Amino acid sequence: MGVRRGRNVIGFDGSMCDLSHKVRYVPSIYHHKMEYNFRTIIEPFRIHSVEPLHMTTRDQRIGAIEECGFNVFNLHAQDVLIDLLTDSGTGAMSRDQWAAIQHGDESYAGSPSWFRFEAGVKELFAFEHIIPTHQGRAAEKILFSVIGGPGKVVPNNTHFDTTRANVEASGAEALDLLIAEGRDPSNLHPFKGNMDLDALDGLLATRASDVPAVFLTITNNSGGGQPVSLANIRGVSEICRRYGVPFFLDACRFAENAWFIHEREPGQGERDIADIVREVASLADGMTMSAKKDPFGNIGGWLAMNDDALAEKCRNLLILTEGFPTYGGLAGRDLEAIAQGLKEAVQPDYLRYRIQSTAYLGEALHAAGVPVVMPIGGHAVYLDAKALLPHVAPLEYPGQSLAVALYEVGGIRACEIGSVMFGRQPDGSEKPAAMELVRLAIPRRTYTQSHIDYVIEVVSAVAARASSLPGYRMVYEPTTLRHFTARYEPIV
Protein backbone atom coordinates (compact mmCIF):
# COMPACT_ATOMS: atom_id res chain seq x y z
CA MET A 1 0.00 0.00 0.00
CA GLY A 2 0.99 3.61 -0.28
CA VAL A 3 -0.62 6.99 0.19
CA ARG A 4 -4.35 7.05 -0.59
CA ARG A 5 -5.55 9.97 -2.69
CA GLY A 6 -9.27 9.79 -3.55
CA ARG A 7 -9.90 6.31 -4.92
CA ASN A 8 -6.36 5.96 -6.23
CA VAL A 9 -3.35 4.76 -4.34
CA ILE A 10 0.10 6.11 -5.04
CA GLY A 11 2.59 3.31 -4.58
CA PHE A 12 5.84 4.08 -2.80
CA ASP A 13 7.55 3.75 -6.17
CA GLY A 14 5.37 6.60 -7.44
CA SER A 15 3.09 4.41 -9.60
CA MET A 16 -0.66 4.97 -9.45
CA CYS A 17 -3.22 2.19 -9.32
CA ASP A 18 -6.96 2.67 -9.65
CA LEU A 19 -8.87 1.15 -6.74
CA SER A 20 -12.36 1.87 -8.04
CA HIS A 21 -13.09 -1.78 -8.90
CA LYS A 22 -11.20 -3.32 -5.99
CA VAL A 23 -12.36 -4.08 -2.48
CA ARG A 24 -10.42 -1.92 -0.05
CA TYR A 25 -8.67 -3.62 2.85
CA VAL A 26 -9.90 -2.12 6.15
CA PRO A 27 -7.78 -3.11 9.16
CA SER A 28 -9.92 -4.46 12.01
CA ILE A 29 -8.90 -1.64 14.39
CA TYR A 30 -10.97 0.74 12.24
CA HIS A 31 -14.12 -1.38 12.18
CA HIS A 32 -16.03 0.74 14.64
CA LYS A 33 -14.52 4.05 13.54
CA MET A 34 -13.99 4.68 17.22
CA GLU A 35 -12.07 7.83 18.19
CA TYR A 36 -9.52 6.97 20.90
CA ASN A 37 -9.07 9.55 23.61
CA PHE A 38 -5.51 9.41 24.89
CA ARG A 39 -4.65 11.29 28.04
CA THR A 40 -1.16 12.44 27.11
CA ILE A 41 -1.19 16.03 25.86
CA ILE A 42 1.14 16.11 22.92
CA GLU A 43 2.70 19.37 21.85
CA PRO A 44 1.17 20.02 18.38
CA PHE A 45 4.60 20.80 16.91
CA ARG A 46 8.03 19.25 16.83
CA ILE A 47 11.26 20.98 17.75
CA HIS A 48 13.06 22.71 14.90
CA SER A 49 15.80 24.58 16.68
CA VAL A 50 17.06 24.12 20.25
CA GLU A 51 18.35 26.48 22.89
CA PRO A 52 20.52 25.08 25.71
CA LEU A 53 19.51 25.47 29.34
CA HIS A 54 22.18 26.46 31.84
CA MET A 55 22.42 24.27 34.94
CA THR A 56 23.38 25.80 38.30
CA THR A 57 23.95 24.41 41.79
CA ARG A 58 21.88 25.35 44.84
CA ASP A 59 24.86 27.25 46.30
CA GLN A 60 25.25 29.27 43.10
CA ARG A 61 21.55 30.16 43.16
CA ILE A 62 21.65 31.24 46.82
CA GLY A 63 24.60 33.50 46.00
CA ALA A 64 22.87 34.90 42.90
CA ILE A 65 19.59 35.75 44.63
CA GLU A 66 21.35 37.39 47.59
CA GLU A 67 23.30 39.57 45.17
CA CYS A 68 19.98 40.56 43.54
CA GLY A 69 18.51 41.86 46.80
CA PHE A 70 16.19 38.82 46.70
CA ASN A 71 14.34 40.24 43.69
CA VAL A 72 13.99 37.64 40.92
CA PHE A 73 13.62 40.44 38.32
CA ASN A 74 17.29 41.28 39.01
CA LEU A 75 18.61 37.79 38.16
CA HIS A 76 20.62 37.11 35.04
CA ALA A 77 18.31 34.96 32.89
CA GLN A 78 21.34 32.67 32.31
CA ASP A 79 21.12 31.65 35.96
CA VAL A 80 17.46 30.58 35.63
CA LEU A 81 16.65 27.00 34.62
CA ILE A 82 12.90 27.21 33.92
CA ASP A 83 11.77 30.80 33.43
CA LEU A 84 8.11 31.21 34.36
CA LEU A 85 8.43 34.90 35.21
CA THR A 86 6.17 35.84 32.32
CA ASP A 87 4.46 34.57 29.20
CA SER A 88 5.22 37.93 27.60
CA GLY A 89 7.46 38.01 24.54
CA THR A 90 8.99 34.69 25.56
CA GLY A 91 7.06 32.25 23.36
CA ALA A 92 8.73 30.25 20.59
CA MET A 93 8.20 31.61 17.09
CA SER A 94 7.01 29.22 14.44
CA ARG A 95 8.76 28.31 11.20
CA ASP A 96 6.17 30.42 9.39
CA GLN A 97 6.84 33.42 11.61
CA TRP A 98 10.58 33.20 10.91
CA ALA A 99 9.72 32.95 7.22
CA ALA A 100 7.46 36.00 7.50
CA ILE A 101 10.30 37.92 9.17
CA GLN A 102 12.27 37.53 5.93
CA HIS A 103 9.56 39.62 4.25
CA GLY A 104 10.10 42.44 6.74
CA ASP A 105 10.27 45.72 4.83
CA GLU A 106 11.91 48.48 6.84
CA SER A 107 10.57 51.47 4.87
CA TYR A 108 9.98 54.36 7.26
CA ALA A 109 6.46 55.06 5.95
CA GLY A 110 3.88 52.84 4.26
CA SER A 111 5.86 49.58 4.42
CA PRO A 112 4.09 46.51 2.96
CA SER A 113 4.77 44.88 6.36
CA TRP A 114 2.56 47.53 7.96
CA PHE A 115 -0.29 46.79 5.56
CA ARG A 116 -0.01 43.04 6.29
CA PHE A 117 -0.02 43.80 10.02
CA GLU A 118 -3.01 46.12 9.78
CA ALA A 119 -4.96 43.59 7.69
CA GLY A 120 -4.10 40.79 10.15
CA VAL A 121 -5.32 42.84 13.10
CA LYS A 122 -8.50 43.94 11.31
CA GLU A 123 -9.27 40.34 10.32
CA LEU A 124 -9.98 39.71 14.01
CA PHE A 125 -10.52 43.20 15.46
CA ALA A 126 -12.36 45.28 12.88
CA PHE A 127 -11.71 48.70 14.44
CA GLU A 128 -11.45 51.74 12.19
CA HIS A 129 -8.05 52.91 13.48
CA ILE A 130 -5.13 50.60 14.27
CA ILE A 131 -2.20 52.40 15.92
CA PRO A 132 0.93 50.24 16.33
CA THR A 133 3.07 50.58 19.47
CA HIS A 134 6.24 48.91 20.69
CA GLN A 135 4.31 47.10 23.45
CA GLY A 136 1.06 47.17 25.39
CA ARG A 137 1.96 49.76 28.01
CA ALA A 138 2.88 52.27 25.29
CA ALA A 139 -0.68 51.96 23.99
CA GLU A 140 -1.96 52.47 27.56
CA LYS A 141 0.28 55.48 28.11
CA ILE A 142 -0.92 57.18 24.93
CA LEU A 143 -4.60 56.44 25.55
CA PHE A 144 -4.68 57.51 29.21
CA SER A 145 -2.63 60.64 28.47
CA VAL A 146 -5.50 61.62 26.18
CA ILE A 147 -8.58 60.40 28.07
CA GLY A 148 -7.37 60.26 31.71
CA GLY A 149 -6.77 63.06 34.18
CA PRO A 150 -7.71 64.14 37.71
CA GLY A 151 -11.35 63.55 38.67
CA LYS A 152 -11.74 60.70 36.15
CA VAL A 153 -12.34 57.07 37.08
CA VAL A 154 -11.55 54.03 34.91
CA PRO A 155 -13.30 50.79 35.86
CA ASN A 156 -11.92 47.41 34.82
CA ASN A 157 -12.53 43.82 35.95
CA THR A 158 -8.95 44.00 37.30
CA HIS A 159 -6.34 46.44 36.06
CA PHE A 160 -3.02 44.87 35.19
CA ASP A 161 -0.15 46.64 36.98
CA THR A 162 0.97 48.75 34.00
CA THR A 163 -2.64 49.66 33.18
CA ARG A 164 -3.27 50.77 36.76
CA ALA A 165 0.02 52.69 36.80
CA ASN A 166 -0.81 54.50 33.53
CA VAL A 167 -4.33 55.39 34.70
CA GLU A 168 -2.94 56.70 38.00
CA ALA A 169 -0.03 58.52 36.33
CA SER A 170 -2.65 60.62 34.48
CA GLY A 171 -4.24 61.55 37.82
CA ALA A 172 -7.31 59.33 37.31
CA GLU A 173 -8.55 56.59 39.62
CA ALA A 174 -8.27 52.90 38.61
CA LEU A 175 -11.23 50.95 39.97
CA ASP A 176 -11.50 47.13 39.97
CA LEU A 177 -15.07 45.80 39.66
CA LEU A 178 -14.49 42.04 39.53
CA ILE A 179 -17.31 39.67 40.58
CA ALA A 180 -16.92 38.42 44.17
CA GLU A 181 -16.25 34.83 42.99
CA GLY A 182 -13.15 36.11 41.19
CA ARG A 183 -11.54 37.12 44.47
CA ASP A 184 -11.97 33.69 46.06
CA PRO A 185 -9.04 31.45 44.99
CA SER A 186 -10.98 28.21 45.48
CA ASN A 187 -14.32 29.19 43.91
CA LEU A 188 -14.96 27.07 40.79
CA HIS A 189 -16.99 29.65 38.82
CA PRO A 190 -16.20 29.02 35.09
CA PHE A 191 -15.76 32.74 34.29
CA LYS A 192 -14.05 34.23 37.31
CA GLY A 193 -12.82 37.17 35.23
CA ASN A 194 -16.35 38.55 34.80
CA MET A 195 -17.13 42.17 35.57
CA ASP A 196 -19.66 42.87 38.33
CA LEU A 197 -22.37 44.28 36.06
CA ASP A 198 -24.48 45.72 38.92
CA ALA A 199 -21.48 47.57 40.31
CA LEU A 200 -20.67 48.93 36.82
CA ASP A 201 -24.27 50.03 36.27
CA GLY A 202 -24.26 51.68 39.72
CA LEU A 203 -21.04 53.57 38.96
CA LEU A 204 -22.24 54.81 35.58
CA ALA A 205 -25.67 55.77 36.96
CA THR A 206 -23.98 58.34 39.21
CA ARG A 207 -20.66 59.19 37.50
CA ALA A 208 -20.89 58.39 33.77
CA SER A 209 -19.48 61.80 32.85
CA ASP A 210 -16.32 61.07 34.92
CA VAL A 211 -15.71 57.74 33.17
CA PRO A 212 -13.72 58.26 29.94
CA ALA A 213 -13.82 54.50 29.16
CA VAL A 214 -14.74 51.19 30.73
CA PHE A 215 -12.04 48.52 30.40
CA LEU A 216 -12.30 44.75 30.42
CA THR A 217 -9.15 42.60 30.63
CA ILE A 218 -9.43 39.29 28.76
CA THR A 219 -8.31 36.99 30.28
CA ASN A 220 -8.06 38.60 33.71
CA ASN A 221 -4.31 38.33 34.30
CA SER A 222 -4.05 39.85 37.79
CA GLY A 223 -7.03 37.80 38.98
CA GLY A 224 -5.60 34.38 38.06
CA GLY A 225 -5.73 34.32 34.23
CA GLN A 226 -9.45 33.73 34.50
CA PRO A 227 -11.73 34.17 31.48
CA VAL A 228 -14.63 36.55 30.89
CA SER A 229 -17.79 35.03 29.40
CA LEU A 230 -19.31 36.24 26.15
CA ALA A 231 -22.54 36.95 28.08
CA ASN A 232 -20.60 39.21 30.46
CA ILE A 233 -18.83 41.01 27.59
CA ARG A 234 -22.24 41.57 25.96
CA GLY A 235 -23.52 42.85 29.32
CA VAL A 236 -20.66 45.34 29.73
CA SER A 237 -21.19 46.51 26.15
CA GLU A 238 -24.92 47.03 26.70
CA ILE A 239 -24.37 49.05 29.89
CA CYS A 240 -21.67 51.20 28.25
CA ARG A 241 -23.88 51.91 25.23
CA ARG A 242 -26.82 52.80 27.49
CA TYR A 243 -24.72 55.43 29.26
CA GLY A 244 -22.80 56.52 26.15
CA VAL A 245 -19.42 55.54 27.63
CA PRO A 246 -16.75 53.97 25.36
CA PHE A 247 -15.92 50.31 26.05
CA PHE A 248 -12.29 49.19 25.59
CA LEU A 249 -10.75 45.72 25.75
CA ASP A 250 -7.33 44.98 27.20
CA ALA A 251 -7.14 42.00 24.90
CA CYS A 252 -3.62 40.50 25.36
CA ARG A 253 -4.97 36.97 25.86
CA PHE A 254 -8.02 37.23 23.60
CA ALA A 255 -7.49 33.81 21.96
CA GLU A 256 -7.23 31.97 25.27
CA ASN A 257 -10.36 33.80 26.44
CA ALA A 258 -12.19 32.79 23.25
CA TRP A 259 -11.14 29.17 23.77
CA PHE A 260 -12.65 29.20 27.28
CA ILE A 261 -15.87 30.66 25.82
CA HIS A 262 -15.84 27.89 23.20
CA GLU A 263 -15.31 25.19 25.86
CA ARG A 264 -17.40 26.46 28.75
CA GLU A 265 -20.20 28.68 27.54
CA PRO A 266 -23.49 27.06 26.47
CA GLY A 267 -24.11 27.38 22.74
CA GLN A 268 -20.52 28.39 21.83
CA GLY A 269 -18.90 24.98 21.34
CA GLU A 270 -19.57 24.76 17.60
CA ARG A 271 -18.23 28.19 16.74
CA ASP A 272 -14.97 28.99 15.06
CA ILE A 273 -12.52 30.66 17.48
CA ALA A 274 -11.91 33.56 15.09
CA ASP A 275 -15.65 34.10 14.87
CA ILE A 276 -15.93 34.38 18.67
CA VAL A 277 -13.02 36.84 18.68
CA ARG A 278 -14.70 38.95 15.99
CA GLU A 279 -17.93 39.09 17.98
CA VAL A 280 -16.04 40.13 21.14
CA ALA A 281 -14.32 42.92 19.20
CA SER A 282 -17.62 44.06 17.67
CA LEU A 283 -19.02 44.64 21.17
CA ALA A 284 -16.25 47.13 22.04
CA ASP A 285 -15.30 50.60 20.82
CA GLY A 286 -11.56 50.06 21.03
CA MET A 287 -8.72 48.08 22.54
CA THR A 288 -5.21 48.11 23.89
CA MET A 289 -2.99 45.17 23.07
CA SER A 290 0.30 43.64 23.99
CA ALA A 291 1.25 41.53 20.97
CA LYS A 292 3.84 39.80 23.22
CA LYS A 293 1.16 37.44 24.50
CA ASP A 294 -1.37 35.59 22.33
CA PRO A 295 -0.11 37.07 19.00
CA PHE A 296 3.30 35.38 19.57
CA GLY A 297 5.37 38.55 19.15
CA ASN A 298 8.71 38.98 20.89
CA ILE A 299 7.76 42.65 21.03
CA GLY A 300 4.83 44.76 19.85
CA GLY A 301 1.38 46.03 20.60
CA TRP A 302 -1.34 48.32 19.35
CA LEU A 303 -4.09 50.71 20.26
CA ALA A 304 -7.32 50.56 18.24
CA MET A 305 -10.58 52.48 18.20
CA ASN A 306 -13.47 53.65 16.04
CA ASP A 307 -13.54 57.29 17.20
CA ASP A 308 -11.83 59.49 14.56
CA ALA A 309 -11.14 62.48 16.84
CA LEU A 310 -9.65 60.31 19.59
CA ALA A 311 -7.52 58.47 17.03
CA GLU A 312 -6.11 61.73 15.74
CA LYS A 313 -5.05 62.82 19.23
CA CYS A 314 -3.50 59.41 19.91
CA ARG A 315 -1.61 59.39 16.59
CA ASN A 316 -0.18 62.83 17.35
CA LEU A 317 1.18 61.52 20.65
CA LEU A 318 2.39 58.35 18.92
CA ILE A 319 4.57 60.38 16.57
CA LEU A 320 6.04 62.17 19.57
CA THR A 321 6.92 59.02 21.51
CA GLU A 322 6.79 55.84 19.40
CA GLY A 323 7.23 56.69 15.73
CA PHE A 324 5.40 57.20 12.47
CA PRO A 325 1.86 55.68 12.44
CA THR A 326 2.81 52.89 10.02
CA TYR A 327 5.45 51.38 12.33
CA GLY A 328 4.93 52.85 15.82
CA GLY A 329 8.18 51.71 17.41
CA LEU A 330 8.31 48.35 15.62
CA ALA A 331 10.59 47.03 12.92
CA GLY A 332 8.91 45.80 9.72
CA ARG A 333 10.01 42.29 10.67
CA ASP A 334 8.16 42.54 14.00
CA LEU A 335 4.99 43.61 12.18
CA GLU A 336 5.33 40.54 9.94
CA ALA A 337 5.87 38.15 12.87
CA ILE A 338 2.75 39.45 14.60
CA ALA A 339 0.59 39.28 11.45
CA GLN A 340 1.52 35.59 11.09
CA GLY A 341 1.28 34.96 14.86
CA LEU A 342 -2.31 36.21 14.90
CA LYS A 343 -3.26 33.46 12.43
CA GLU A 344 -1.62 30.79 14.60
CA ALA A 345 -3.13 32.09 17.86
CA VAL A 346 -6.67 31.14 16.90
CA GLN A 347 -5.91 27.57 15.72
CA PRO A 348 -7.95 25.07 17.79
CA ASP A 349 -5.17 22.42 17.99
CA TYR A 350 -2.82 24.98 19.46
CA LEU A 351 -5.37 26.41 21.89
CA ARG A 352 -6.49 22.96 23.06
CA TYR A 353 -2.86 22.06 23.83
CA ARG A 354 -2.17 25.45 25.38
CA ILE A 355 -5.07 25.38 27.83
CA GLN A 356 -4.77 21.65 28.61
CA SER A 357 -1.05 21.84 29.28
CA THR A 358 -1.48 24.77 31.69
CA ALA A 359 -4.23 22.77 33.44
CA TYR A 360 -1.87 19.73 33.57
CA LEU A 361 0.56 21.70 35.76
CA GLY A 362 -2.14 23.24 37.93
CA GLU A 363 -4.12 20.09 38.46
CA ALA A 364 -1.02 18.07 39.36
CA LEU A 365 -0.11 20.66 42.01
CA HIS A 366 -3.68 20.72 43.29
CA ALA A 367 -3.66 16.90 43.54
CA ALA A 368 -0.36 17.13 45.47
CA GLY A 369 -2.08 19.38 48.02
CA VAL A 370 -0.47 22.66 46.92
CA PRO A 371 -3.03 25.50 47.13
CA VAL A 372 -3.60 26.95 43.65
CA VAL A 373 -6.20 29.29 42.18
CA MET A 374 -8.96 27.11 40.78
CA PRO A 375 -10.07 26.54 38.11
CA ILE A 376 -6.71 26.77 36.35
CA GLY A 377 -6.38 29.87 34.15
CA GLY A 378 -5.16 30.12 30.57
CA HIS A 379 -1.57 31.30 30.58
CA ALA A 380 -0.44 30.56 34.10
CA VAL A 381 -0.89 28.65 37.32
CA TYR A 382 -1.26 30.84 40.38
CA LEU A 383 -0.02 29.50 43.72
CA ASP A 384 -1.97 30.77 46.72
CA ALA A 385 0.85 31.99 48.97
CA LYS A 386 -1.55 33.25 51.65
CA ALA A 387 -2.82 29.68 52.14
CA LEU A 388 0.64 28.08 51.84
CA LEU A 389 2.46 30.52 54.16
CA PRO A 390 -0.14 31.49 56.79
CA HIS A 391 2.68 32.36 59.21
CA VAL A 392 3.89 35.24 56.97
CA ALA A 393 1.85 38.47 57.31
CA PRO A 394 0.66 40.02 53.98
CA LEU A 395 2.98 43.01 54.36
CA GLU A 396 5.90 40.65 54.96
CA TYR A 397 5.15 39.39 51.46
CA PRO A 398 4.38 35.65 51.48
CA GLY A 399 4.40 35.56 47.66
CA GLN A 400 7.86 37.11 47.53
CA SER A 401 9.10 34.49 50.01
CA LEU A 402 7.68 31.66 47.92
CA ALA A 403 9.16 33.05 44.70
CA VAL A 404 12.65 33.21 46.29
CA ALA A 405 12.33 29.61 47.55
CA LEU A 406 11.31 28.30 44.10
CA TYR A 407 14.43 29.84 42.64
CA GLU A 408 16.76 28.63 45.38
CA VAL A 409 15.45 25.07 45.38
CA GLY A 410 14.92 24.46 41.67
CA GLY A 411 16.11 27.39 39.58
CA ILE A 412 12.50 28.27 38.71
CA ARG A 413 11.69 31.96 38.28
CA ALA A 414 8.12 33.02 39.08
CA CYS A 415 6.42 36.33 39.73
CA GLU A 416 4.75 37.63 42.90
CA ILE A 417 1.27 39.03 42.26
CA GLY A 418 0.19 40.26 45.66
CA SER A 419 1.06 42.95 48.19
CA VAL A 420 4.45 43.69 46.61
CA MET A 421 2.84 44.37 43.21
CA PHE A 422 -0.37 46.05 44.41
CA GLY A 423 0.21 47.04 48.07
CA ARG A 424 1.62 50.53 47.54
CA GLN A 425 -1.13 53.17 47.42
CA PRO A 426 -0.95 56.39 45.34
CA ASP A 427 -0.38 58.39 48.59
CA GLY A 428 2.68 56.25 49.46
CA SER A 429 0.97 54.22 52.20
CA GLU A 430 0.77 50.44 52.07
CA LYS A 431 -2.20 48.09 52.27
CA PRO A 432 -2.46 44.31 51.72
CA ALA A 433 -3.64 43.17 48.28
CA ALA A 434 -6.83 41.12 47.85
CA MET A 435 -4.81 37.96 47.16
CA GLU A 436 -1.20 36.85 47.70
CA LEU A 437 -0.38 34.90 44.56
CA VAL A 438 2.74 33.58 42.86
CA ARG A 439 2.30 33.20 39.16
CA LEU A 440 3.93 30.40 37.20
CA ALA A 441 3.43 31.88 33.72
CA ILE A 442 3.91 29.49 30.83
CA PRO A 443 5.70 30.87 27.77
CA ARG A 444 3.91 29.75 24.62
CA ARG A 445 5.22 26.60 22.84
CA THR A 446 8.50 26.80 24.79
CA TYR A 447 8.68 24.11 27.48
CA THR A 448 7.88 20.41 27.09
CA GLN A 449 5.96 18.14 29.42
CA SER A 450 9.18 16.92 31.10
CA HIS A 451 10.10 20.51 31.99
CA ILE A 452 6.66 20.86 33.52
CA ASP A 453 7.02 17.55 35.41
CA TYR A 454 10.22 18.97 36.93
CA VAL A 455 8.33 22.13 37.96
CA ILE A 456 5.71 19.96 39.68
CA GLU A 457 8.48 18.21 41.67
CA VAL A 458 10.17 21.46 42.70
CA VAL A 459 6.95 23.22 43.76
CA SER A 460 5.88 20.16 45.76
CA ALA A 461 9.26 20.05 47.53
CA VAL A 462 9.06 23.77 48.42
CA ALA A 463 5.45 23.39 49.60
CA ALA A 464 6.53 20.57 51.92
CA ARG A 465 8.83 22.99 53.81
CA ALA A 466 6.68 26.11 53.42
CA SER A 467 6.30 26.60 57.20
CA SER A 468 10.05 27.30 57.46
CA LEU A 469 10.11 30.09 54.83
CA PRO A 470 10.76 33.61 56.17
CA GLY A 471 8.92 36.88 55.56
CA TYR A 472 10.74 39.74 53.80
CA ARG A 473 11.10 43.49 54.30
CA MET A 474 11.88 46.00 51.56
CA VAL A 475 15.18 47.78 51.93
CA TYR A 476 14.78 49.77 48.71
CA GLU A 477 11.43 50.83 47.30
CA PRO A 478 10.84 52.89 44.13
CA THR A 479 7.65 54.97 43.96
CA THR A 480 5.99 53.29 40.96
CA LEU A 481 5.84 49.66 39.81
CA ARG A 482 8.00 48.82 42.81
CA HIS A 483 8.08 45.06 42.20
CA PHE A 484 10.45 45.46 39.25
CA THR A 485 13.34 47.05 41.13
CA ALA A 486 12.70 46.76 44.90
CA ARG A 487 15.36 45.10 47.07
CA TYR A 488 14.60 42.98 50.12
CA GLU A 489 16.09 41.17 53.08
CA PRO A 490 14.66 38.16 54.89
CA ILE A 491 13.16 38.74 58.35
CA VAL A 492 15.05 36.33 60.59
Contact 297, 89 (CB under 8 A): yes
Smaller CB separation from ligand F0G, 192 or 466: 192
Smaller CB separation from ligand F0G, 250 or 265: 250
Q: Which stretch binds ligand F0G (CB under 6 A): 19-27, 130-138, 270-278, 396-404?
A: 130-138
Query: What's the rounded Cα separation, in Å, for the pair 388 and 198?
Result: 33
Smaller CB separation from ligand F0G, 162 or 357: 162
CB of 429 to ligand F0G, least distance (A): 25
Task: Count CB atoms within 10 A of the CB of residue 352.
Answer: 15
- As beta bridge partners, residue 248 has 215, 286
Q: Which stretch binds ligand F0G (CB under 6 A): 105-113, 159-167, 302-310, 322-330?
A: 159-167
Smaller CB separation from ligand F0G, 252 or 365: 252
- As beta bridge partners, residue 214 has 247
156 binds ligand F0G (CB under 6 A): no
Smaller CB separation from ligand F0G, 297 or 471: 297
Smaller CB separation from ligand F0G, 81 or 415: 415
Smaller CB separation from ligand F0G, 301 or 378: 301
Question: What is the footprint of ligand F0G within residues 180-239 (CB under 6 A)?
Answer: 217, 221
252 binds ligand F0G (CB under 6 A): yes
Sole binder of ligand F0G in the list 196, 250, 408, 416 (CB under 6 A): 250
CB of 218 to ligand F0G, least distance (A): 8
CB of 360 to ligand F0G, least distance (A): 21
Smaller CB separation from ligand F0G, 120 or 443: 443
Question: What is the footprint of ligand F0G within residues 419-458 (CB under 6 A)?
Answer: 441
Smaller CB separation from ligand F0G, 416 or 471: 416
Contact 133, 139 (CB under 8 A): yes
Tell me the Cα Rg of the chain.
Answer: 24
Strands 173-176 and 214-217: unpaired
| 224 closest CA partner among 181, 165, 287, 281 | 181
- As beta bridge partners, residue 250 has 217, 288
Coil vs helix vs strand at 247: strand
CB of 417 to ligand F0G, least distance (A): 9
Sole binder of ligand F0G in the list 61, 65, 72, 88 (CB under 6 A): 88
| 247 closest CA partner among 255, 257, 258, 239 | 239
Smaller CB separation from ligand F0G, 113 or 162: 162
Query: What's the rounded Cα separation, in Å, for the pair 204 and 213?
Result: 11
Contacts of 90 (CB under 8 A, 6+ apart): 83, 443, 444, 446
Question: What is the footprint of ligand F0G within residues 8-27 (CB under 6 A)?
Answer: none
CB of 147 to ligand F0G, least distance (A): 16
DSSP 434: S
CB of 270 to ligand F0G, least distance (A): 29
357 binds ligand F0G (CB under 6 A): no
Sole binder of ligand F0G in the list 136, 155, 286, 325 (CB under 6 A): 136
Question: What is the footprint of ligand F0G within residues 371-430 (CB under 6 A)?
Answer: none
Binding-residue pattern over the window 282 to 321 for ligand F0G, x denoting contact by CB under 6 A: --------x-x--------x--------------------
135 binds ligand F0G (CB under 6 A): yes
Contact 325, 318 (CB under 8 A): yes
86 binds ligand F0G (CB under 6 A): yes
158 binds ligand F0G (CB under 6 A): no
CB of 266 to ligand F0G, least distance (A): 27
Query: What's the rounded Cα separation, in Å, for the pair 164 and 158?
Result: 9
Contacts of 472 (CB under 8 A, 6+ apart): 70, 396, 397, 400, 401, 404, 488, 489, 490, 491
DSSP string, 55-102: P--HHHHHHHHHHTTT-GGGS-GGG-SEE-S-SSS-SPPPHHHHHHHT
Task: Count CB atoms within 10 A of the CB of residue 208.
Answer: 15
- Angle at which helix 136-147 crosses helix 161-169, to 10 degrees, equals 30
Q: Which stretch binds ligand F0G (CB under 6 A): 19-27, 155-163, 367-375, 384-392?
A: 155-163
DSSP string, 175-237: EE-B-GGGG-TT---TTTT-B-HHHHHHHHHHHGGG-S-EEEESSBGGGTSB---HHHHHHHH
- With CB atoms as reference, the residue minimizing the distance to ligand F0G is 136
Size of interface with ligand F0G, in residues (CB under 6 A): 16
Sole binder of ligand F0G in the list 125, 127, 160, 191 (CB under 6 A): 160
Q: Which stretch binds ligand F0G (CB under 6 A): 76-84, 135-143, 370-378, 464-472?
A: 135-143
DSSP 269: T
DSSP 430: B
163 binds ligand F0G (CB under 6 A): yes
Contact 471, 491 (CB under 8 A): yes
Smaller CB separation from ligand F0G, 61 or 413: 413
Which stretches of the chain bind ligand F0G, using CB under 6 A?
Answer: 86, 88, 135-137, 160, 162-163, 217, 221, 250, 252, 290, 292, 301, 441
